[in-house]
Every structure is written in C-alpha cells, then in structure tokens.
C-alpha cells in the first residue's frame, strides 16, 4: 500500500507534482529558519564561553586551576571605545617565566609589546595614530587567535608592562590562572530569551505557510480519496495514502531545509543576532537537535494529514458531497482575550523577579495572543463579510460577501501569514522604538553622543568636611591641546566636592550652560554639584536635571583637585576619538573616557534591533508566499463553480473583482485589528517589564504596513491571468 501511495504522490500528473513541490518548498523554508534559530542560540553560547577568559573576577568554579609551578601576573582589564565599537583591553605584567597565558596568543607580551585581534589590527592600520594607535604603548608582535575572540569583528588587545608599572595602578589584581568560562550574564540571558521569541515569531508564519501549501487542491484530493473509497479502499488505507503523500513532501522539504541551512550558514553567521557576527563554526547543530528535526517534521506532517481526513471516515459520498462548514462563533476570541489578560496582569502586579520567570510569563502571554489571533481570525473575517454585504451595491460585492460568509476559515487562511507578520512587526517596532526613544532621551539624544566624559582616579577620592582633598591635577597644556582639536567646542574640568560624596563633582555654571544635554544649574548659581556616571548602572539619569548650587566661589573652584574632564564636540569620529586618545595618553591606565551614549544598554539595544529586523525581513516574504499559495489554492478549489458562472454569461472581470474583494476585505479588516493588538501588546510589555510608555512608531513602520498591503494586493492581482485559464468550459464538466 505504501508503494501505491508513493506512486500516486509522484505520478499524479502536473497538479500532483506542483502540489508536492510547493509543499516541499514551504517545509524547506520552515526547516531552514528553525535550524537557523537553533544554531544562533548555540552560537550565542559559544561566544559567551570564548569571552570568558576576560572575566577573572568570577567565581572560582569558572577559573582554570593554576598550573604546577605557575607564577602570578598583574592583570588589569578595562573597556575602551572607538567609533561606537567596544574594545576589550587587558594590561598584563608577568611576575615569572611561567605566568598563565590567555588563549589565542603563544606567550605573554613583554613591556612595550602587545597582541591585537585581526579586526583591531586592521583598524589600527586604517585610522590615524592620534585617534587610536597612540593609546597603546609599544608595537604589535602578533594577532590574537579565534579561541579568544567572541566574534570575527571583536576588538581585543593584550598589552605588556613592567610589573612595577601595573603594581601602582588602582584596580590591577594578581592572578595565577586565566578564567576558563563564565556563567551566562544578564545581557546574554536577555538575548537568549529574545532569540526564543524570534524563533516563535518566525515559527507561526512558517506553520501557516506549510498548512496553506498542504491544502493546495484539497477539494480535488478529497474527491480522489472518495473515489478510492468507492473502489473498496478502507479508511485506514486512505489515511495511509494521505500520510505517505504528506510525509514525502515533508521528507523532501526537510532535506532541502538542511541543505539550505548548510549552504547559507556562512552568510547566516554574518547576521549580528547578538550585535556581533559569529564564526561559521559557531552556527552548529547538536546531533540530538538534527535528529529531532529530521525525524520530527515528517512525522508531524503525517500526523496532520491523518487528522485532516476525519471526513473521509464517514463515507465515500460524505466526502464527495461535503456539507458547509459551521459558522465561527464569538467564543474564538476567548484565547485572544486570555493572552491580553495575561499580559495585563503582569502590568498591574509587576513582572516576575527571575529572568526565567519573565521569559515564561511573556512568552506564554505572547504565544496565547498569537494563537488567539489565528483562532479569532475566521470570526473577524465573517464580521467583515457581514459589513461588506450591507455596504455592497454591485454583484461583485454581493458574491464576495456570500463566499466569505460561506467559508470564512478558508478566506482567513490565505491571509493569516500576512496578519501574523503585521502583528509581530508591530510588537517589535513598538517595543524597540519606545526603548530607543527613551534611551536617547535619558542620554541627551544626539547631543549625548557628542559629549565625552572622563573620570580621573587619584590616590584618594574620599571627600567630606573633615577629610583633606587629594586628587589629580589637569595640566593646562592638555586642556589647551583639547581646545585646538578640530570639532571640539567646549572643555569643562570638573572638581572634587569637599562637602559631597565621592561621586559628586563641582562645575562652573557658565561653562555647563554650553552643554545643555547635561542639565542646568539652579538659577543664579555660579558653581553647582553634579553627578555624572556615564558607565554606571543608571546612565543618563542626569537628563534635564537642575543641579543644586554649592557654597564654593568660582575662584576657589580652580584650586580644587580635578575629578574629570568633559568635552563637547561636533559629534565627528575624528574629534571624539582624538580627544579620547589625548585623555588616555595623558593619564595612562587611569582614564576611561566614554560619551554619555556609550553604555552597555545601548549595545544590547542594538542587538535587539537586529533581532527585530530579522523578524520583519523574514516574516514578510513568508507571508507573501503563503498568500500567493492560498489564493491559488482557492482558485483551484473553485474552478468548477467559476466555470459555471462563466457559462451563464458572467464576465471574467466580474470574477476578478470577486476574488479581489474576498481577499482584500478580510486582509484590510483583520490587519487593522492585528496592528492595534500589536501596539496594545507592546504597551503592556513596556509598562510591566520596563516601566515605559509606548512611543508612536516612525514613518518606517507605516511604510512597512503600506508596503505589505500593496504587496498583498499585487500578489492577488498576479493570480488574475490564472483565473481566466482555469475557468474555461472544460472545467464545468460533471465529475
């Protein structure tokens, strides 16, 4: 029976081959995307482990044991920047011949030597030394290998020093072993959760695509199965034929999906899912994952085909003469309301404390909302058909409304992929836009990117009314050279506050007025106390603040030790990086200059933006393919009724308007509801998780929605020539 089923699958004429190819393509796209999401999660773990050697402050269980006879070494890790890219800098000094060596280099660099990653070495060669190279003393003696790099574009440098030099630097520690790995950090855990949501967001449109493709020419297949029943086939044999047909397409598509994944794996690795590209080898699959996908997809397809033939078990005539589908009821909106209610609950009660709890809470609510939208779609389509029937005054509108009311499930199935794409894109754009706008507001927007702040570490930074002040003196020559840099507009030296905390600094209000992004002084004040921590846990908290005045005269201000330097620029890379290099060379191993905008949160936000772009760019083509297959499948199933209408004198133009209306009406109606639900879900998530309000999406979002609708209408119009070809008189014969 299996051999007969396979022959019927591949030898059923052009229609059978077309159905097999389209279904296999749908499965291939779905499997390829699923494998890409799973491999991206593995790449994230691999990147996290390779970067673990930089963290020598973690728990002992993540540290490599010291080798017998190993000597300690001085170790100082810091974060540098260039053009918005982070540079991991490690300064080392060996205290013996057998000090531990980081991965990726053959030996520790000596004084005046350094190793650089390939990307950083290329950057050092391409930019003027005054913007970057002068920060690193000595000369390069080699490159850092992939074993120590998070990604091919990682900027990492290991600099050698004399032990006496590092011993005097605050923050330097003595280590006897190099960390072998680390636990997943907060940012990594957040991106891992986002990857899970991305996989879910891509999975639903793919499942819709596969479901739509498998229903291509469903009516003709059911008639064929009914004929087999009349010839004596049992229900089990008919189900076996259907299962073999579905499994054949699924096996072919699964194999093609694996081929697509390995063919484009190197290109997928270049997509910065985590903000940085991956090595191709990182995009790997475990044997268990590969076996589960390879066996699970065909098995699931066979089960679905078996369940889809419930009507065949009634009788052959019951299948050949189908009854109308029941009208969808309002109960279909219950899961959708439940998903919205789940998200609203966490808005009122607060999000779970653990990251895992948050993942399950929002993933569960989001999945329930998406499933509820799919389930409620036919009911919304039926409501749109009722509205069309009341408004229609021409035959095309009346026919389209009648056909929508007869089978709203089939009408919604054709557009469901695009509806899900609109929903996921709206949620992603709403969340990312609001987070980006809030981050820009907190950090002064464009002005915050132009302000470079350097905190200076002196031998004593504890202040108080009875504590003598000691700190750093900023040479006049340095401030003069900074003012001479093209693009630098303001140089402001902040000073230690003798009456405040170690984080407070005193500034001249006249000079602060030139940098409004940092806040303003109390009216009438000449000197104010400010608190600027660009690398702290709450970066940019100073936005639009009014700083209090202090009882310190402007003349005394210059005599106080300096706590930092603030430089206003025109935002050009040359101005910012030249000033940064001047800071680091004037105060070696002490200054860590950063703009107000350069924070870890901004880098994580950039990674989430990349993931949102992946969802939008991947879901729209899938939705378009699903719509095209759905419209073609609908035409194939209705070729005989349309042919009878043509024989009765109905013009082809009228049939085209019917097809356009019965596709466009539910598309527009449900798309509006889907976009509104997406904005609501984004608002609930932002309120409960981040305490933010939804910001209005920009023109790019509305362009995406308009483009998606126009693309859908174009796909519908592209099927019109097919309508004229398949509805000829020969299709009206009795079958």
Backbone φ, ψ for residue 658 (5° rounding): -60, -50
Three-state SS letters, 321-344:
CCCCCCCCCHHHHHHHHHHHHHHH
Closest CA to 153 of 200, 117, 103: 117
The owner of tokens 């930089």 is: 54
Handedness of CA 174, 175, 181, 182 (dihedral sign): negative
Task: Please report, for residues 341, 368, 549, 679, 688, the alpha-carbon distance to residue 349 in angstroms, rounded to integers and kept in the order given.
Answer: 12, 19, 40, 20, 8
Residue 615 · residue 469 · CB < 8 Å: no
Torsion of CA 401, 407, 408, 411, to 10 degrees: -90
Residues 6+ apart with CB under 8 A from 154: 88, 117, 119, 276
The owner of tokens 């693009």 is: 487
Backbone φ, ψ for residue 419 (5° rounding): -60, -45
Q: State the pairing for strand pair 451-455/594-595.
A: antiparallel
Q: Got the DSSP string for 87-106?
A: EEEEEEEESSTT----TTSS
| Number of Cβ atoms within 10 Å of the Cβ of 238 | 23
Closest CA to 15 of 224, 210, 230, 319: 224
In whole angstroms, give the CA distance from residue 368 to residue 315: 36
- Packed helices 600-637 and 699-718: angle between N→C axes, nearest 10 degrees: 20
Residue 730 is predicted with a pLDDT of: 63
Strand spans (E) along 427-585: 451-455, 488-496, 505-508, 520-521, 527-530, 546-547, 562-569
The owner of tokens 């693309």 is: 711
Q: State the pairing for strand pair 155-160/85-94.
A: parallel
Domain ranges of the chain: 56-175, 324-441+599-735, 445-598
Residue 140 is predicted with a pLDDT of: 94
Torsion of CA 155, 160, 161, 167, to 10 degrees: 70
The parts of the chain modelled with pLDDT lower than 70 are 1-2, 4-16, 56-70, 179-207, 210-223, 273-275, 304-326, 355-356, 359, 439-448, 456-472, 500-503, 532-544, 591, 597-608, 610-612, 614-615, 618-619, 637, 728-735
R_g over Cα of the chain: 33
| Number of Cβ atoms within 10 Å of the Cβ of 336 | 23
Q: Give the bridge partners for 94, in sequence order.
A: 73
Task: Please report, for residues 308, 449, 530, 547, 597, the alpha-carbon distance to residue 445 in angstroms, rounded to integers and kept in the order given.
Answer: 55, 7, 19, 20, 8
| Token pair in block for residue 247 | 């499994």
Residue 313 is predicted with a pLDDT of: 53
Strand spans (E) along 352-503: 451-455, 488-496
267: burial class by Cβ within 10 Å (0-12, 13-18, 19+)?
A: exposed
Residue 154 · residue 276 · CB < 8 Å: yes
In whole angstroms, give the CA distance from residue 556 to residue 467: 17
In whole angstroms, give the CA distance from residue 6 to residue 1: 9
In whole angstroms, give the CA distance from residue 237 to residue 643: 33
| Number of Cβ atoms within 10 Å of the Cβ of 105 | 18
pLDDT tens digit sequence for 171-214? 888 888 886 544 444 445 555 555 566 666 666 666 677 666 66
Question: Across the chain, what does the average pLDDT equal?
Answer: 77
Q: Got the DSSP string for 413-431?
A: HHHHHHHHHHHHHHHHHHH
Residue 32 is predicted with a pLDDT of: 85
Residue 538 is predicted with a pLDDT of: 39
Closest CA to 359 of 689, 700, 726, 77: 689
Residue 98 is predicted with a pLDDT of: 83
Measured in whole angstroms, how far is the alpha carbon of residue 404 from the centre of its chain? 37
Residue 194 · residue 685 · CB < 8 Å: no
Residue 655 · residue 723 · CB < 8 Å: yes
In whole angstroms, give the CA distance from residue 426 to residue 620: 12
* Phi-psi group of 622: left, alpha or beta (phi > 0 → left; psi -120 to 50 → alpha; rest → beta): alpha
Q: State the pairing for strand pair 488-496/451-455.
A: unpaired
pLDDT tens digit sequence for 487-527? 998 898 888 877 766 667 888 998 888 888 788 888 888 88
Write the DSSP symbol of residue 730. Answer: G
In whole angstroms, give the CA distance from residue 456 to residue 107: 32
In whole angstroms, give the CA distance from residue 495 to residue 473: 10
């Amino acid at each position: 029976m299996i051999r007969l089923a396979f022959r019927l699958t591949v030898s059923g004429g052009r229609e059978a081959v077309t159905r097999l190819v389209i279904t296999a393509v749908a499965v291939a796209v779905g499997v390829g995307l699923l494998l890409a999401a799973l491999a991206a999660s593995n790449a994230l773990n691999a990147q996290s482990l390779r970067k673990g050697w930089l963290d020598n402050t973690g728990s002992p269980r993540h540290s490599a044991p010291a080798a017998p006879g190993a000597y300690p070494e001085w170790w100082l890790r810091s974060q540098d920047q260039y053009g918005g890219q982070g540079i991991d800098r490690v300064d080392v000094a060996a205290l013996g011949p057998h000090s531990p060596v980081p991965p990726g280099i053959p030996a520790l660099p000596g004084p005046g030597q350094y190793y650089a990653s390939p990307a950083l070495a290329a950057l050092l060669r391409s930019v003027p030394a005054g913007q970057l190279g002068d920060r690193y003393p000595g000369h390069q003696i080699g490159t850092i290998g992939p074993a120590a790099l998070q990604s091919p574009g990682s900027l990492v440098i290991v600099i050698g020093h004399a032990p006496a030099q590092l011993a005097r630097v605050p923050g330097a520690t003595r280590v006897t072993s190099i960390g072998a790995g680390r636990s997943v950090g907060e940012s990594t855990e957040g991106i891992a959760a986002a990857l899970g949501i991305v996989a879910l967001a891509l999975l639903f449109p793919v499942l819709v695509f596969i479901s739509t493709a498998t229903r291509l020419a469903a009516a003709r297949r059911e008639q064929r199965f009914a004929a087999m029943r009349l010839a004596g086939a049992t229900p089990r044999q008919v189900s076996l034929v259907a299962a073999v047909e579905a499994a054949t397409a699924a096996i072919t598509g699964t194999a093609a999906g694996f081929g697509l994944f390995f063919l484009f794996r190197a290109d997928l690795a270049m997509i910065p899912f985590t903000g940085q590209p991956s090595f191709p080898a990182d995009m790997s699959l475990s044997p268990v994952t590969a076996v589960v996908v390879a066996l699970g997809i065909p098995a699931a397809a066979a089960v679905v085909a078996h369940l889809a033939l419930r009507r065949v078990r009634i009788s052959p005539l019951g299948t050949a003469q189908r009854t109308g589908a029941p009208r969808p009821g309002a109960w279909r909106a219950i899961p959708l309301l439940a998903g919205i209610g789940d998200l609203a609950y966490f808005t009122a009660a607060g999000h779970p404390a653990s990251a895992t709890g948050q993942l399950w809470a929002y993933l569960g609510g989001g999945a329930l909302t998406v499933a509820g939208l799919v389930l409620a779609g036919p009911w919304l389509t039926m409501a749109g058909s009722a509205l069309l029937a009341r408004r229609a005054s021409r035959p095309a509108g009346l026919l389209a409304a009648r056909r929508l009311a007869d089978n709203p499930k089939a009408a919604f199935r054709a557009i469901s992929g695009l509806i899900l794409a609109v929903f996921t894109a709206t949620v992603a754009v709403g969340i990312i836009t609001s987070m980006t706008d809030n981050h820009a507001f907190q950090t002064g927007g464009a002005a915050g990117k132009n302000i470079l702040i350097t905190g200076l570490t002196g031998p004593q930074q504890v202040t108080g009314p009875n504590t003598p002040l000691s700190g750093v003196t900023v040479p006049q020559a340095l401030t003069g050279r900074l003012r001479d840099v093209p693009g630098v507009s303001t140089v402001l030296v902040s000073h230690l506050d003798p009456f405040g905390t170690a984080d407070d600094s005193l500034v001249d209000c006249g000079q602060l007025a030139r940098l409004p992004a940092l806040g303003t002084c109390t009216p009438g004040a000449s000197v104010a106390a400010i608190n600027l921590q660009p690398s702290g846990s709450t970066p940019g908290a100073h936005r639009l603040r009014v700083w209090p005045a202090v009882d310190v005269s402007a003349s005394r201000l210059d005599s106080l030790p300096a706590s930092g330097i603030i430089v206003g620029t025109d935002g050009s890379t040359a101005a910012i990086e030249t000033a940064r290099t001047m800071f680091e060379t004037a105060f070696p191993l002490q200054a860590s200059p950063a703009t107000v905008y350069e924070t870890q949160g901004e880098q994580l936000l950039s990674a989430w933006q990349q993931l949102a772009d992946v969802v939008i760019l991947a879901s729209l083509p899938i939705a378009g393919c699903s719509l095209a297959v759905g419209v073609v499948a609908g035409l194939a199933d209705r070729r005989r009724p349309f042919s009878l209408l043509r024989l009765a004198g109905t013009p082809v133009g009228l049939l085209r308007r019917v097809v356009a209306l019965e596709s466009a009406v539910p598309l527009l109606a449900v798309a509006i509801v889907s976009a509104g639900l997406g904005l609501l879900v984004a608002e609930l998530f932002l309120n409960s998780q981040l305490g933010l309000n939804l910001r209005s999406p920009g023109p790019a979002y509305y362009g995406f929605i308009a483009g998606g609708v126009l693309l859908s209408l174009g796909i519908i119009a592209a099927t019109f020539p097919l309508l004229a070809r398949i509805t000829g008189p020969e299709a009206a014969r009795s079958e």
